[in-house]
Structure 1
Amino acid sequence: MDATQLLKGVLDVAVLAVVEGEDGYGYDVVRRLRAAGLEEVGDASVYGTLRRLYSAGALTSYVVPSEEGPHRKYYGITPQGRSMLATQRKTWAEFARTMDRLLEGVAV
């Protein structure tokens, strides 16, 4: 099974989950996703997801000056984003239970 195809379907919820606990800038979000086990996540995919979630009102952003390089744009979750994440968590849990039953050969 190609994990990159699965990742496309869950990247929004994964990004929301990462920034729920702590705001982060683009590469920091990529690093945290990879550290969590999503090693195949691409930088461009995450940056695009951050922009899309920001445009949808799920994330807020702010710039933090840096003495060691360019300023960093940080993203944080909004109340709308928290609501989206809660809904997606429920959807994921139901989907995972269904897939577990199917893969274990349990009749539905």
Structure 2
Amino acid sequence: MTTEETTSWPSDWLRAVLGLSVLRVLDSGRSYGYAITSTLADAGLGQIKGGTLYPLLTRFETAGWVSTDWQAGTAGPGRKYFSLTEAGRAELARQRLHWQAFAAVTNNLFTGDPS
């Protein structure tokens, strides 16, 4: 597949994996919105807009999966950083297991006999 083909995934596919993907990115350490979207793009998911990312992060904060803090900027505005909480790590582990099972089932359907 070309780079363009892998960065223009159907939007419903991206909605399905975005939450799990963001949790995974934050599992690597504290980060801010632009860095999260850059990591996702570098991973091959394409460019995720802030209007999609920030409401998701707000839901995660409400659920207790992420904590936030502001860091003052040295040459510009401050940044809001997001960190995965222990509850977020547990949710990541839970979702990861479910995703792996789902991926195995769908992979079987696509590569094997569907009957």
Same fold (TM over 0.5): yes
Aligned with residue 97 of structure 1, among 90, 94, 104 = 104
Structure 2 distance, partners of 1:73, 1:25, is 6
Post-superposition shift, 1:40? 4.1
CA distance in 2, matches of 1:68, 1:36: 29
SS of 1:37 mapped into structure 2 = coil
TM-score by length of 1: 0.92
The RMSD of aligned alpha carbons is 1.3
Deviation string, structure 1 residues 19-60 (Cα, Å, up to 9, x no partner): 110111111111111111110422211111111101110000
In structure 1, which of residues 6, 23, 28 is the aligned counterpart of residue 35 of structure 2?
28
CA distance in 2, matches of 1:31, 1:40: 7
Residue equivalent to 1:43? 50
- What SS is found at the alignment partner of 1:82? helix
TM-score (structure 2 length as normaliser): 0.87
What SS class does the counterpart of residue 62 from structure 1 fall into? Answer: strand
CA distance in 2, matches of 1:52, 1:27: 18
Q: Which runs of 5+ in 2 are unaligned?
A: 1-8
**Counterpart pick for 2:18 among 1, 11, 22:** 11
Residues 65-107 of structure 1 show CA distances to partners (whole Å, capped at 9, x for unaligned) of 1112111010000000000000000000000000110001334
Q: Would you say the 8 A contact 1:7–1:41 is kept in 2? A: no
Number of residue pairs matched by the alignment: 107
